Structure 1
Amino acid sequence: MHPPRSRRLALSSLLALAASGLGAASPSAQAAGISWPNGQVLPSFSAPATTLDLVDLTTGESREYRYEAEGPHVRHGTGRLEGNGWLAQVGIDAANHYMITGPYAADIPVGGNTAFFDLTVDNNTANSDVVVTVDVRDNTTGALLAQRDITRTDFKVAGSYQRFELPFTNPEAGHGLEFRVYWYGRAYTKIDCVGTRASVWDDEVVLFTTLKGLVNRTQPRIFTYDVTMRGQDGKTGWLNSLGLGYTEVADRWSLVSKYRSELKGLVVYDPALPDTVNLATTIAGLRGAVAASPALVGKLTAAPYSLPILVDLRGAFSNKLQVYQSLYDNYWPQLSHKVLIGLSPGLKGFIRDYAAATPLAMVWLDPKNAAEDALLRKFLAAMPYGSGIYMGWWPEEAAGVQRVSEYGISTVASDFASNLTVFGGMSRTVNLKPLPNKPPLRDKIYVSLILSDGDNLQFVEHLFKKLWDSPNRGQVPLGWTISPAMVDAMPGVLNYLHTTATPNDNLISGPTGLGYTYPNYWGNATHLDNYVALTNDYMNRAGLKVLTVWNKIDGATDTHVGNSFAAFAPSLLGLTAQNAGGGITVYNNLMPSQGLNATYCPTEASMVSEINRAISGWNGTSPRFVSIQANPWEGNSYQSFVNVVNAFSANPNIVFVRPDTYFQLLRESSLLAPDPAALVKVYEAEPTTYASSPFSHAVGRASDNGWTANVAQDNEGMMLYGPYVTTFPAGQLTTTFKIKIDALTGTNDPIVTLDVRDATTGQVLTAFDVTRHQFKAANAYQDFSLTYPNVAGHSLEFRAHYRDRATVNIDKVTTTTRLGLYEAEGAGVGHHAGRALGEGWQATPSYDPAGHMLYGPYDGNLPLGTHKVTFRLKTDNNTLGTQPLARIDVREETTGSSLAQAELTSQQFTSTTQYQDFSLSFSQTAPKRPLEYRVYFHAKASVVVDRVTVH
């Protein structure tokens, strides 16, 4: 059916104007309230109004006439009950019968409706046979209102429910309607539910969602409640949590009158070709219009609204490909290419407002369809490689994410995100918390639990909120995945999560950083490096230190991808990888990555089972690391994680920790700097494929992943010296040599002498003799550290003098600003006096007796060598002369001996209520000697300890 000739002429004229750039205002003119600075991947909206209009646009089950396949309202001619559905199986159940008839519902609205059938099959590739025929029948008259054959290949994936829709018209009120599924016996088939929804409601959802986009582009003033996802948080959950004012709107249509002056007119879509709703949304955004169905045109063009029709898409296209080709030819040149939105035309609301507001192109193209894929590639080729974003979702996950990955584009899952036009206007200030104190590394089994799917913005908006609001949240350590893109899309929500997080809550990134992408499929290494660097920037601003790398659903990380993260995301503690198995890889000697021991555990029982499997065979002589991911969609609640931790409470060798703590411990176990923020530089002792070495050598050779010298081939001499670096920061630095020896037996001779020399002045700043028996094991790398004061601009030289008494291998030389940092009020340290006070720990004479206000952490893994520990304290009284206010010391726990101590007198504090640093120097000469750093309170004046830093 074609529109009248006059309408076709009007449409062709509009398309011609659009193509010339004259038919629509530019995006910047349309989106006056939206800013999009360079380097920002998603736009910012202006601050929300003091009071928002809260509108109920609920779709899904609450607007559906839904009948469960196993429920009491339907009948069956074949098949049987199985769990949550009705199953018919080849060779077991009778073919050529109805799996479902009924329910003979007499309350279905008159007029346009869309029936739905949620079905699954076990195999969608064997052939293209018709599996079932679905229909809608008027049982009162016997008339067949609509019918559709569904073939095996119509199922996008096997084993997952898929919704099939069937439009029909209910001719008369009160007639008994049934929704039937006829089974041919050709495939295992299961039905979850059948039913219908009234088309008129879908029409209104499109109208008011695009209205919201137009209104919110100037200033966010409308917030909608339109969730279909299970576990919804309630329509005012985020409004209340974020302190946003609102007034519930009883009559949605009143909003058309209220905002009529901001609407230029209507873009009418064609219900006969569903994809025109996406084109209408795009055009509406450009033209300052709302998208409308033909059923609503009469009401909207009449008084009191009197909206003119700007573009009428009815009859303009014969297939979906023509729809999106028109979008590409006529409108894509006028739109930002930074973001492309993918949304099924069956979803009438949700992120549709974001596309209209910004405005952005909205498509629904399947990479598995050759013709659609060819057009999709044209859009993708025009987007910025390395920073382009595809928002929404895909017809099929793996195919879609892989396709955009090939173009250096990442997916931000957000098709059901309802209010990004409001969330995107909130303050971009995010108040981050410091890393928690790391407990000492022991020979224990460390387990990290991770909740998946937080990279999905709609999940954060809906079910995530319900889980986060669990009254017992904080009882156990848990990693909550979120998206770094929240920095742009939901900054207020991100800040709320950080502000309300307990010490056991750890926010980490879902796949794969800034967006969901398969980095193995990026064809340009430079652009991948740029993307990783951009992710690192967003991770820092989002306060995230751990990231999950995905490559397909369960693919391993290619070496070049891991190396890219090692080089261009230096602030990360580590990576998890979606390929299960628990294997640990350290990329470029810098970045640890672990394949999750288990992925997407559906229940607490499966988590317990996977942990038991991962800890099997542990011998207790070294740490083991077990990382378990669970999904929120099936049987897991917050209590599930509590139950899992409790299931292992009787085993003292199993320690549950946050993911960031987990990776700090894993890094320490791998002889990496536990906190990358302290890292200044890593130099390889020998040239490698991924890093050149700046060192010179008088003896030895490159061998065995390092620089090696041995008694048979080498004399005593400098096996390593250099690099005369002048750019290191001033102040206390620690340089660590990673060394191994061939044998521990024999005389405890000095094996190598390490030193740091100021080449500008010729002064040796510090030196340490490494003896044979200071190694914990033969042929195992061990760290030896030297702490020293650096003067800015001076030339530093790191030297290793070989003593010709053993085979020695030096892997790398690492310089950091510190080895450890312990917040006084954080976990891992203890207190006999005082209390937490904001950022520190306070003891006051009027409340507290004399005693240790800080002790611990009993760290037995401090590298051998010379060290300095700095205590940061303040007092309220510096007028007591030589009276001691506090004593600081370094104590060896096993023997109780003090390695260094000092009394801090009142007069040593140069001012009151201002923090001041006090340091002690000491040597760690024996391996695995547990140390504690203590502050003794003399109860003479108030003392606050901020932190203890180990250099």
Structure 2
Amino acid sequence: MTFGVVKLVVFALALIMTAATNILQYDLRPSTKLSLDDIYEYAHLLGALSGLANRDAPRLFTIYGDSDIRWLSYMSSIDWPEDANYTVISSIVDLVRYFSDDIKGVVLYDPNVPATSNLASTASGVYNLLPICYRPTSDSLYTQLVQSGPRLPVQVNFVNMFSGNVTGSAKTDAYVWAAEHFLASRLADGTHLGYYIDKWWSQSSKAPQAVFESLAINHDWIVKNRGFVFDLSPWDDEAPNDDPHQPVGNDYKALIAILQKAYQQHNGTKFSTVSGFVPWLFKYVDEKHGGVPSEWRMAHVMSAFNVIIDADACCLDSFANAAFYSHYASNQTQRRFVQNSFPSREELIERGLLNEENIVTNRTYILYYGGDYDSAAWFANEFKNLWDDPKRGSVPVAWAVNPNLYDRFPLLHSYLYRTRTANDFFVSGDSGSGYLNPTQLFEPRMFSGLPRADALWIDRNRYYFNKFNIKHTGFVINGDAGPLTNQSDLMYTKFSPLGFTRQQGYTTLGETALIPGTRVPSFTETDLIDGSEVQQILSCYRSQTVRFVVFRGVLRSATNYANITENVEKLQPNITFVDPYTFALLARIYLSKDPTVNNDLVSYVDDNLPRVVRNGDIITANFSIRNEGWNTLNNLRLKLIFVCNMTYVFDWNTEIKHGDIQTASYQFQVECEQPGGYQVIYQLFRDETSFEEYGNVPWISSAQLI
């Protein structure tokens, strides 16, 4: 291509891209037919370029897998981005040329020190650079983009920078330097971490059979957010297979240094999220350390530093376009996601599950947990196909979608809530609003020795559970952190009023129990076994007694749950399959013997409080509340804490019957002279008793005084 033709292409692209809804589209799939080096390097480049191009608006869409085609079609069906016009670009050189204003040059990494590829991703987000491997061979990206073509300038060069003279390993030298240079300096954002296999992937004997498992395309989310990427073994008792001659424990020490510096950036006032997972298909797993123990070790260590896991785990983990999709949330800033209402006492009596004396009918009650969706990659790649099953809605299922996945992939949530049936309910998966080990939030915290973080975890979950109207934590997993404790159980009662299901064998409370001193039930899960599900469920039946059993399925369709249910009910009609609300309400009244235990439950479903206010503004605010409990609500008070922590108390004299939503309108004046951001809280009160005492999470949001 001559220089004049190149100029013409760029000019044409500029004309095409004059409107905000015009988007470039690049098909990365042909690169998977190239050499392993090229497969990694193309995915790496596109991951970084996507992070930069889509940082402020959706401008570049990459086709890499089947899910990209599926979501492209879905976005077209909902007209988002609005009036989008996609222009296909087939040349990587032309693509880079178009985004030249977003690119300040190149960060060059060293193929002899594969860890530098992850350092290059971090530098990419921090300095707006493209990561390119120093491989001056014919047709390499280095040759196409640095030595020729746009001749991008090298701004950062990691080639021959790390030799092992500091730690005894070039790999850990690189990460120790990066932790100091990027995290300690605050150049990189320690709340956005990426745990992705480095360029060593292309040397692995397993790579030819797993060409989509380099996961370099996943770096876009970290680059967009100027985060930090690493790949280190969590084990301290053997050298990793990608660096077998390093001193034992080097990888682990470097990992701890990274986590410490990420924590120190905000001094424990925030949780960090690590997207990614132990790359067990390629690294760190052998006869000594299996895949699940390596996962549990990772969670055990991360939890001690206030890091939750967005678990891009093999082999549904290749996920392009998170930086692009994330902008969909900007259309939803005022949106709340409201679920089905709780069943009434009369409904349960009519269904034969409860009698007039509030005695629970002798049956075995089964709840299906449909998971595991603790990863935005798994959620995007798999869930819509399962959700669109024609038998969905024929049996109740608690779909376990971690609410924090909305940050990285908000596109699916509105579809799920809009198309749910009366038998579709959403609970959280592992272990709430992010995968961690909850007892690791309490002192003494193994690996870190940091102060406790349970209050921070409660606040985080209250935000996400409120936003998605979640009342049950579907799976509390504690892995190598040991049994759950009274402390950790009480922590979950603060945001999960209909209880939580815990990992099997991690409590002394028994299969089903109320957390002492509360109305909140806890349950023990049992994993469904492929091919044996019907007999497995039948074996849990006990005649002349009440039993509550949670069966956990992973990546199962609604048809699968429906077929199991049909076969079980033919053989044992006293096994009853229920939704998570019915399950919990029955358990609460059965265990407490208290006829009022299911009273005074609400959902704060809407308000029109402004996000930005000025001193002296007169606000007319509408609050909508749904009565989820078994009593009629009236003669209450609504207490609002607004900017400057000013408290306003309103009489709520609007009667709300079970299942109804009622709206009340109040007027108040802003009296605040100190500009800044403030937390907003409101909740109902009966006299001086807040509804939080009855197990309701107050509504928490924010407002800005200007």
Does the TM-score normalized on the shorter chain lie above 0.5? Answer: yes
Contact 1:267/1:284 (CA < 8 Å) preserved in 2? Answer: yes
Within 2, Cα distance between the matches of 1:675 and 1:56? 55
State how 1:802-817 maps to structure 2 within 5 Å: none
- 2:174 — aligned with what? 323
| Residues 485 and 221 of structure 1, relative CA distance in 2, 3 Å threshold | same
Q: Which has the higher contact order (CA 8 A, sep 6+)?
A: 2
| Residues 376 and 434 of structure 1, relative CA distance in 2, 3 Å threshold | same
Report the residue type matching 1:354 in the other structure.
W
User: Deviations 1:796-841 (Å, cap 9, x if unpaired)?
Assistant: xxxxxxxxxxxxxxxxxxxx999996448xxxxxxxxxxxxxx9xx
What is the Cα deviation at residue 205 of structure 1? 1.4
Select 2:191's aligned residue among 319, 334, 338: 338
Share of identical aligned residues, percent? 22
1:391 aligns with 2:275: yes
Tell me the TM-score normalized by structure 2: 0.66
| Residues 509 and 277 of structure 1, relative CA distance in 2, 3 Å threshold | same
SS class of match (2:216)? coil
Contact 1:517/1:551 (CA < 8 Å) preserved in 2? Answer: yes
SS class of match (1:285)? helix
| Residues 234 and 786 of structure 1, relative CA distance in 2, 3 Å threshold | closer
Select 2:48's aligned residue among 205, 210, 219: 210
Contact 2:521/2:588 (CA < 8 Å) preserved in 1? Answer: no
Within 2, Cα distance between the matches of 1:627 and 1:580? 14
SS class of match (2:372)? coil
| Residues 606 and 553 of structure 1, relative CA distance in 2, 3 Å threshold | farther
1:247 aligns with 2:89: no
User: Deviations 1:273-306 (Å, cap 9, x if unpaired)?
Assistant: 2211100111111111111123322211255422
Report the residue type matching 2:539 in the other structure.
R
Select 1:372's aligned residue among 251, 266, 284: 251
1:589 aligns with 2:517: yes
Report the residue type matching 1:653 in the other structure.
N
User: Deviations 1:682-706 (Å, cap 9, x if unpaired)?
Assistant: xxxxxxxxxxxxxxxxxxxxxxxxx
Worse-matched range after superposition: 357-366 or 636-645:
636-645
SS class of match (2:383)? helix
Within 2, Cα distance between the matches of 1:478 and 1:554? 29
Contact 2:501/2:525 (CA < 8 Å) preserved in 1? Answer: no
- 1:511 — aligned with what? 430
Report the residue type matching 1:667 in the other structure.
R
**Which is greater in Rg?**
1
User: Deviations 1:21-49 (Å, cap 9, x if unpaired)?
Assistant: xxxxxxxxxxxxxxxxxxxxxxxxxxx95
- 2:564 — aligned with what? 644
What is the Cα deviation at residue 269 of structure 1? 1.5
- 2:704 — aligned with what? none
Contact 1:667/1:674 (CA < 8 Å) preserved in 2? Answer: yes
User: Deviations 1:347-381 (Å, cap 9, x if unpaired)?
Assistant: 25332111221111111122203222222222222
| Residues 665 and 226 of structure 1, relative CA distance in 2, 3 Å threshold | farther
| Residues 466 and 789 of structure 1, relative CA distance in 2, 3 Å threshold | closer
- 2:300 — aligned with what? 402
- 1:413 — aligned with what? 311
| Residues 791 and 662 of structure 1, relative CA distance in 2, 3 Å threshold | closer
| Residues 679 and 455 of structure 1, relative CA distance in 2, 3 Å threshold | closer
- 2:288 — aligned with what? none
Select 1:628's aligned residue among 544, 547, 551: 551
Within 1, Cα distance between the matches of 2:584 and 2:113? 51
Contact 1:596/1:629 (CA < 8 Å) preserved in 2? Answer: no
Contact 1:217/1:357 (CA < 8 Å) preserved in 2? Answer: yes
| Residues 201 and 653 of structure 1, relative CA distance in 2, 3 Å threshold | same
| Residues 448 and 823 of structure 1, relative CA distance in 2, 3 Å threshold | same
1:666 aligns with 2:587: yes
What is the Cα deviation at residue 310 of structure 1? 1.1
Within 1, Cα distance between the matches of 2:547 and 2:305? 38
Contact 1:58/1:227 (CA < 8 Å) preserved in 2? Answer: yes
Within 1, Cα distance between the matches of 2:658 and 2:64? 46
Select 1:296's aligned residue among 141, 147, 166: 141
| Residues 225 and 553 of structure 1, relative CA distance in 2, 3 Å threshold | farther
Contact 1:556/1:579 (CA < 8 Å) preserved in 2? Answer: no
State how 1:421-570 maps to structure 2 within 5 Å: 421-426=323-328, 427=331, 428=333, 429-438=335-344, 439-440=347-348, 441=354, 442-524=361-443, 526-547=452-473, 548-552=475-479, 556-566=483-493, 568-569=494-495
Contact 2:632/2:655 (CA < 8 Å) preserved in 1? Answer: no
Contact 2:635/2:654 (CA < 8 Å) preserved in 1? Answer: no
Report the residue type matching 1:643 in the other structure.
N
Within 1, Cα distance between the matches of 2:68 and 2:149? 36
What is the Cα deviation at residue 554 of structure 1? 9.9
What is the Cα deviation at residue 788 of structure 1? 9.8
- 1:609 — aligned with what? 535
1:262 aligns with 2:102: yes
What is the Cα deviation at residue 518 of structure 1? 0.5
1:310 aligns with 2:310: no
Contact 1:276/1:323 (CA < 8 Å) preserved in 2? Answer: yes
What is the Cα deviation at residue 56 of structure 1? 2.6
User: Deviations 1:740-792 (Å, cap 9, x if unpaired)?
Assistant: xxxxxxxxxxxxxxxxxxxxxxxxxxxxxxxxxxxxxxxxxxxxx99997576
Contact 1:577/1:594 (CA < 8 Å) preserved in 2? Answer: yes
What is the Cα deviation at residue 579 of structure 1? 1.1
User: Deviations 1:428-474 (Å, cap 9, x if unpaired)?
Assistant: 32442342424413333221111221111111100112111223322
Within 1, Cα distance between the matches of 2:479 and 2:654? 38
Contact 1:216/1:421 (CA < 8 Å) preserved in 2? Answer: yes
Within 2, Cα distance between the matches of 1:787 and 1:430? 24
Within 2, Cα distance between the matches of 1:679 and 1:477? 21
- 2:228 — aligned with what? 361
What is the Cα deviation at residue 542 of structure 1? 1.8
Within 1, Cα distance between the matches of 2:440 and 2:380? 30
Structure number with higher helix proportion: 2
1:578 aligns with 2:513: no
| Residues 309 and 788 of structure 1, relative CA distance in 2, 3 Å threshold | closer
Report the residue type matching 2:90 in the other structure.
D
User: Deviations 1:70-95 (Å, cap 9, x if unpaired)?
Assistant: xxxxxxxxxxxxxxxxxxxxxxxxxx
SS class of match (1:217)? coil
Report the residue type matching 2:296 in the other structure.
A
Structure number with higher strand proportion: 1
What is the Cα deviation at residue 58 of structure 1? 3.9
What is the Cα deviation at residue 553 of structure 1? 7.1
Contact 1:430/1:491 (CA < 8 Å) preserved in 2? Answer: no
SS class of match (1:474)? coil
Mind listing any 5+ residue stretches in structure 1 that lack a counterpart? 1-47, 65-108, 114-197, 681-730, 736-784, 794-815, 825-838, 840-871, 874-951
Within 2, Cα distance between the matches of 1:523 and 1:263? 44
Q: What is the Cα-based RMSD across aligned positions, in Å? A: 3.6
State how 1:17-416 maps to structure 2 within 5 Å: 49-58=20-29, 63=32, 113=35, 198-227=36-65, 234=70, 236=72, 238-240=74-76, 242-244=78-80, 245=84, 247=86, 249-253=88-92, 254-293=94-133, 294=135, 295-302=140-147, 304-318=149-163, 319-332=170-183, 333=185, 334-345=187-198, 346=201, 347-369=214-236, 370-382=249-261, 383=263, 384-385=267-268, 387-395=271-279, 396-414=294-312, 416=318
| Residues 819 and 446 of structure 1, relative CA distance in 2, 3 Å threshold | farther
Contact 2:390/2:559 (CA < 8 Å) preserved in 1? Answer: no
Contact 1:598/1:610 (CA < 8 Å) preserved in 2? Answer: no
Within 2, Cα distance between the matches of 1:224 and 1:279? 23
Within 2, Cα distance between the matches of 1:786 and 1:823? 10
SS class of match (1:271)? coil
Within 1, Cα distance between the matches of 2:29 and 2:193? 25
Within 2, Cα distance between the matches of 1:301 and 1:268? 10
- 2:205 — aligned with what? none
Mind listing any 5+ residue stretches in structure 2 that lack a counterpart? 1-18, 164-169, 202-213, 237-248, 280-293, 349-353, 355-360, 444-450, 605-624, 639-651, 664-706
User: Deviations 1:71-129 (Å, cap 9, x if unpaired)?
Assistant: xxxxxxxxxxxxxxxxxxxxxxxxxxxxxxxxxxxxxx6xxx4xxxxxxxxxxxxxxxx
